[in-house]
Amino acid sequence: MLNTDPTHTHTYDTHGKMTCCSLEEKIYAHAEAQLKTEAHQDGDGHDHEHSAEAAWRRQHLPVMVSLMLLLTAIVLDNWLKPGWFSGWLRVVWYVAAYLPVALPVILEAVGALRKGAFFTEFTLMAVATLGAFFIGEYSEGVAVMIFYAIGELFQQAAVNRAKRNIKALLDVRPDTVTVLRGAKTLTVSPGEVLPGEFIQVRPGEKVALDGTLVSETASFNTAALTGESKPDTKAKGEIVLAGMINLNTVAKVRVTSLFKDSKLSRILELVQDATTRKSKAQLFISRFAKIYTPIVFFLAVAITVLPYFFADSYMFSDWLYRGLVFLVISCPCALVISIPLGYFGGIGLASRHGILFKGSNFLDVMTQINTVVMDKTGTLTKGVFKVKSVDAAPGIEPTKLVQIVAALESKSTHPVAVAVVGFVGKDKTMLPVSAVEEIAGHGIRGKVAGDEVLAGNLKLMQKFGIATPLEIEGIVETFVLIAVNGKYAGCITIADELKDDAKQAVADLHGMGIQTVMLSGDKSSVVQKVAAELDIDRAFGDLLPDGKVDKVQALKSENHRLAFVGDGVNDAPVVAFADAGIAMGGLGSDATIETADIVIQNDQPSKIASAVKIGKLTRRIVWQNIGLAMAVKIAVLALGAGGVATLWEAVFADVGVALLAILNAVRIQKMKV
- DSSP secondary structure of 129-173: HHHHHHTT-HHHHHHHHHHHHHHHHHHHHHHHHHHHHHHHHHTTS
> What span, in angstroms and rounded, lies between the C-alpha atoms of 26 and 279?
19
What pLDDT score does 245 carry? 84
d(CA 241, CA 173): 12
Residue (of 547, 552, 553) closest to 570 by Cα position: 547
Burial of 13 (0-12, 13-18, 19+ CB in 10 A): exposed
CA distance 298 to 310: 18
Identity of the highest mean pLDDT range in 2-11, 166-175, 195-204:
195-204
pLDDT tens by residue, 105-142:
999 989 988 988 877 778 877 887 888 898 888 988 88
DSSP-based three-state secondary structure for 540: strand
- pLDDT at position 260 over 50: yes
* CA–CA gap between residue 264 and residue 276 (Å, rounded): 20
**What's the pLDDT at 2?**
39
Catalytic residue among 210, 232, 364, 375: 375
Q: How confident is the model at residue 514 (pLDDT cuts 50, 70, 90)?
A: very high
Q: Looking at residue 274, what is its pLDDT?
A: 47
CA 492 to CA 483: how far, in whole Å?
Answer: 12
**pLDDT for position 381:** 86
Separation between Cα atoms, residue 506 and residue 502, nearest integer Å: 7
Mean pLDDT within 173-195: 88
Each residue's pLDDT tens digit, 449-484: 999 999 998 889 999 999 999 888 778 777 899 999
Predicted local distance difference test score (pLDDT) of residue 44 = 47
Q: What is the pLDDT of residue 412?
A: 82
Single-letter amino acid, residue 61: L
More confident residue, 509 or 658: 509
More confident position, 326 or 606: 606
Q: What pLDDT does 486 receive?
A: 93
Round the average pLDDT of the chain to a whole number and report it: 80
Share of the chain above pLDDT 70, in %: 81
Which of 72-81, 382-391, 561-570 has the lowest average pLDDT? Answer: 561-570
> Are 528 and 516 within 8 A, CB to CB?
no
Which of 10-19, 190-199, 266-275, 341-350 tops mean pLDDT?
Answer: 190-199
Q: Mean per-residue pLDDT for 184-207?
A: 91
Write down the pLDDT at residue 487.
Answer: 94
Task: State the average pLDDT over residues 222-229.
Answer: 58
pLDDT at 38 over 70: no
pLDDT computed for residue 224 by the predictor:
59
Q: What is the pLDDT of residue 427?
A: 67
Which pLDDT band holds residue 47 (cuts at 50, 70, 90)? low
Report domain 177-262's class.
mainly beta
Confidence of residue 359 (pLDDT cuts 50, 70, 90): confident
pLDDT at res. 334: 66
* pLDDT-based confidence at residue 382 (cuts at 50, 70, 90): confident
Structure confidence at residue 645 (pLDDT): 80
CB 370 within 8 A of CB 657: no
232 is a catalytic site residue = no
Point out the least confidently predicted range of 202-216, 246-260, 543-557, 606-620. 543-557
pLDDT for res 592: 59
pLDDT at 23: 46
**Which CATH number, 3.40.50.1000, 3.40.50.150, 3.30.70.2740, 1.10.8.590, labels domain 355-380+499-601?**
3.40.50.1000
Inform me whether the pLDDT recorded for 12 exceeds 60. no
Distance CA 61, CA 81 (A): 28
CA dihedral 442→447→449→450, nearest 10 degrees, is 140
As a whole-number percent, the residues of the chain with pLDDT over 90 amount to 30
Residue 42 — pLDDT band, cuts 50, 70, 90? Answer: very low
How would residue 223 be classed by pLDDT, with cut points 50, 70 and 90? low
- Residues 664, 666: Cα–Cα separation, whole Å: 6
Do 220 and 247 contact (CB within 8 A), yes or no? yes
DSSP character at residue 586: T
Query: What is the residue extent of each domain of the chain?
Result: 8-169+278-345+617-670, 177-262, 355-380+499-601, 382-498
The residue type found at 344 is F
Confidence of residue 11 (pLDDT cuts 50, 70, 90): very low
CATH 3.90.550.10 fits 382-498, yes or no: no
Using the predicted structure, report yes or no on whether residue 162 has a pLDDT greater than 70. Answer: no
Q: What mean pLDDT comes out for the span 432-451?
A: 89
Please tell me the pTM assigned to this model.
0.64
